[in-house]
């Protein structure tokens, strides 16, 4: 744990540096609100789909919706339930049945080609999802490594899948594979009698290095999934928020102004905007002739989490309810 004030006090040029930072930064430095990044997911990229109403985070070494460029890649597919007409259970009837069963904790009807031993109901945020692993699909020569979550929100079917490069896992786990020259040439294919054992080893954290890393990343990503309860971030951020680390400090977003309070007194006020990139959203606060930028990690009806980009530290707030 550290504060920016401690860092600045150790600098022999402290007075010179102090004159070069903004009033907002100076207030922040000495407020005790600075907080070190304590969780590896704090700096992960954020994927958000406001239409479907979900956000999640994923590691920097995981490709997002990529095809073959990454050893491990994350894929998010969302389809309006009324438009479902796919194979493998991805149809309207199956979706509507599972929409009723999953909230009760029942797995419901299977989709895709799940390994039987991997089928379970997983709680995510405030709902439930089917969790399963797919190790092959359609034919005996197929070798896949996919872990998936299947659930519903805002009348959408959502499928989140983490895929791993088969070649690397096969190389580390030859005891689970065999050669079928007649049907598959000299390619390694599954010994289907050993698929359940392969899965159990991963569950018990005894898998090979790359396979275990893929397996564990899925769990970490799943734990970051949140539902967006209302509107866009520009709407959700409006209102008053109190710091989780300093109850005397609060901020308010109203009429395009961000106002900072300390012990109920205004200490700063400036215009703000919300800026979006492909997967991330940023809070931009004007400060004289410069900008102060924050990455928005989370904003919900009750929680606001920001990264102060100039210092790489997190700020966590709770909504003040009237």
Q: Which residues contact 126 (CB under 8 A, 6 or more apart)?
A: 227
Confidence of residue 66 (pLDDT cuts 50, 70, 90): confident
Between 116 and 26, where is the model more confident?
Answer: 116
Of 219, 256, 213, 238, nearest to 299 by C-alpha is: 238
Query: 102-106 long-range contacts, Cβ below 8 Å, gap at least 24?
Result: 102/127, 102/128, 102/129, 102/130, 102/151, 102/152, 103/127, 103/128
Per-residue pLDDT at 290: 83
Distance separating alpha carbons of residues 220 and 182, to the nearest angstrom: 41
End-to-end CA distance of the chain: 32
Lowest-pLDDT choice from 36-45, 101-110, 156-165, 282-291: 36-45
Distance separating alpha carbons of residues 9 and 252, to the nearest angstrom: 30
Of 239, 291, 249, nearest to 270 by C-alpha is: 291
Q: Which residues contact 145 (CB under 8 A, 6 or more apart)?
A: 135, 163, 164, 165, 166, 169, 211, 214
Per-residue pLDDT at 19: 44
Whether the predicted pLDDT of 195 surpasses 60: yes
Q: Are 152 and 158 a contacting pair, CB within 8 Å? A: yes
* 220 phi/psi in degrees, rounded to 5: -65, -40
Per-residue pLDDT at 40: 82
**pTM of the predicted model over 0.75:** no
Per-residue pLDDT at 22: 58
Pairing relationship of beta strands 249-254 and 257-262 according to DSSP bridges: antiparallel
Distance separating alpha carbons of residues 272 and 135, to the nearest angstrom: 48
Distance separating alpha carbons of residues 115 and 247, to the nearest angstrom: 49
Distance separating alpha carbons of residues 58 and 56, to the nearest angstrom: 7
Per-residue pLDDT at 155: 85
Report the DSSP beta bridge partners of residue 164.
72
Instruction: Retrieve residue 77's tokens.
Output: 């597919």
Dihedral-angle region of residue 138 (phi above 0 means left; psi in -120 to 50 means alpha; beta otherwise): left
């Amino acid at each position: 744990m550290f504060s920016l004030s401690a860092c600045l006090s150790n600098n022999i040029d402290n007075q010179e540096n102090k004159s070069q930072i903004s009033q907002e930064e100076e207030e922040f430095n000495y407020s005790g609100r600075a907080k070190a990044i304590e969780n590896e997911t704090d700096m992960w990229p954020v994927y958000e789909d406001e239409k479907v109403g979900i956000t999640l985070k994923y590691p920097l070494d995981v490709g997002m919706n990529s095809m073959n460029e990454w050893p491990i890649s994350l894929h998010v597919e969302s389809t309006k339930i009324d438009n479902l007409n796919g194979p493998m259970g991805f149809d309207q009837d199956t979706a509507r049945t599972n929409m009723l069963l999953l909230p009760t904790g029942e797995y419901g009807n299977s989709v895709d080609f799940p390994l039987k031993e991997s089928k379970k109901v997983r709680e995510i945020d405030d709902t439930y999802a089917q969790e399963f692993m797919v190790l092959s699909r359609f034919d005996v020569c197929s070798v896949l490594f996919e872990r998936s979550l299947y659930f519903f929100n805002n009348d959408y079917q959502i499928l989140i899948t983490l895929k791993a490069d088969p070649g690397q896992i096969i190389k580390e786990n030859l005891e689970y594979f065999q050669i079928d020259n007649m049907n598959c040439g000299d390619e390694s294919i599954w010994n289907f009698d050993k698929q359940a054992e392969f899965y159990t080893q991963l569950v018990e954290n005894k898998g090979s290095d790359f396979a275990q890393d893929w397996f564990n990343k899925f769990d970490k990503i799943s734990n970051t999934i949140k539902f967006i309860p209302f509107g866009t971030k520009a709407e959700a951020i409006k209102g008053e928020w109190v710091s989780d680390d300093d109850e005397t400090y609060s901020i308010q977003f109203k009429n395009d102004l961000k106002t900072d309070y300390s012990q109920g007194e205004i200490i700063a006020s400036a215009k703000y905007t919300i800026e979006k990139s492909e997967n991330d959203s940023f809070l931009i606060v004007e400060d004289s002739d410069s900008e102060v930028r924050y990455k928005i990690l989370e904003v919900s009806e009750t929680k606001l989490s920001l990264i102060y980009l100039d210092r790489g530290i997190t700020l966590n707030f709770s909504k003040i309810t009237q």
